[in-house]
A = this chain, B = another copy of it.
């Protein structure tokens, strides 16, 4: 494992309320973990390799806790629809293609290259129902040296025939992946992934909850994205009081660490349960705009200390960029502030940055910050060409990069103290 010193202008958010910044300091890591930040390099570390990025920003790698790998080719397409018709018209037909491993490899190498390009060093991702292409995606992530939770999707009701699984086979395939991958890599892990309540029978959810507990595996799904979806769940489970309770009775709601995407229309009781069970909310503002879903009241979650991270939600979200997702989250929170008669305070820049780094990163453990003991997952940002103004504070430079920079400004990526190069040279990058 690697010892390393990065020198430059270091900025991160140990808590959501403010940036911590260190101009022209040394960030020291041992065996991939941060040991400290120093204005001059202590003698005991002077033997470590030093990377000099003086004048450049060094920030935590970005964390995307909700996106769908097989939807990558659909980015920017079909966004004139709401959730359910969008699923049926655009998403499900695309996801049905992933029995084809060659097609899956083309898409997934392109996606992983672009995650690297945008500085997303950690992600929590949905695959499709297909076991083999899910394994392929996990192996591609392992080769990339990026950090990921990857979930084979489970669905056995209310889906088109080509995506409707046999319940027992769905559970067996899921268990096979768990057994094969739970200890295969320190960076890439399986995650149990019921698509959402409407497409999962009680038997399937019950079986998945048992697997989660038996192997202590994480869980991800969707919750209260759209009013029609919430009504649908109510009709499917009239005996249970709310959407969250359905997951909860099947041990899919925080019994092991859990992410729920969207969380726009939760009841106070559902928020109580998320708070009690430490369920993560994945805030996906671009997707919530594009599918006319609504605006998540993220301030309510922060006020209750419910853990929150950001999700690009490709391809409901069109944009893989976590910085642009931070901007969308700030903008959405400002509209929510107006719509609540200035009741729910807008997100600040440091809060949005926190959500896209340590907020989502904490799902992985000590990820998304440069505090002692945190994994050295870092981006080096050259912001010299972002403007003619040179009298900015480090916080202002980070804010400017978040608002107007892009992948071209990211010159290096590190995960656990190791530099990560573009994973798939043979793949034609999507964006260059």
Contacts and interface: CB of A to CB of B under 8 A. Distances in A.
A222 to B, nearest CB: 19
Interface stretch (A125-133, A206-214, A381-389, A418-426): A381-389
A106 B388 CA distance: 7
B73 A387 contact: yes
Interface stretch (A177-185, A253-261, A397-405): A397-405
Contacts of A408: 431-432
A301 interface: no
Nearest to A317: B403
A294 B338 contact: yes
A431 B73 contact: no
A89 B388 CA distance: 19
A319 B404 contact: yes
A383 to B, nearest CB: 10
Interface string A48-78: 0000000000000000000000001111110
A330 interface: yes
Contacts of A292: 334-335, 337-338, 346
A348 interface: yes
A290 B331 contact: yes
Among A295, A400, A429, find the residue whose CB has the most chain B CB atoms closer than 10 A. Answer: A400
A403 B80 contact: no
Contacts of A335: 289, 292, 294-295, 335
Given A292-B337, A331-B289, A349-B80, A75 B403 contact: yes
Q: How many protomers of this protein does the assembly include?
A: 2
Interface string A318-338: 110000000100111011011
A428 interface: yes
B388 A334 contact: no
A430 B385 CA distance: 5
A40 interface: no
Contacts of A401: 76
A346 to B, nearest CB: 7
A399 B339 contact: no
Interface in A217-275: none
Contact of A403 (B79, B334, B392, B402): B79
Given A319-B404, A431-B408, A389 B80 contact: no
A169 to B, nearest CB: 29
A396 interface: yes
A428 B384 CA distance: 10
A406 interface: yes
Contacts of A394: none
Given A290-B334, A292-B338, 7 more contacts: A77-B400, A79-B403, A289-B331, A294-B335, A294-B338, A385-B429, A385-B432
- 5 closest residue pairs by CB, A with B: A76-B403, A289-B331, A76-B400, A292-B334, A318-B403
19 contacts: A72-B387, A73-B389, A74-B389, A75-B387, A76-B386, A77-B392, A77-B403, A80-B346, A80-B348, A106-B388, A107-B388, A110-B387, A110-B388, A289-B334, A319-B403, A385-B432, A387-B430, A406-B406, A408-B432
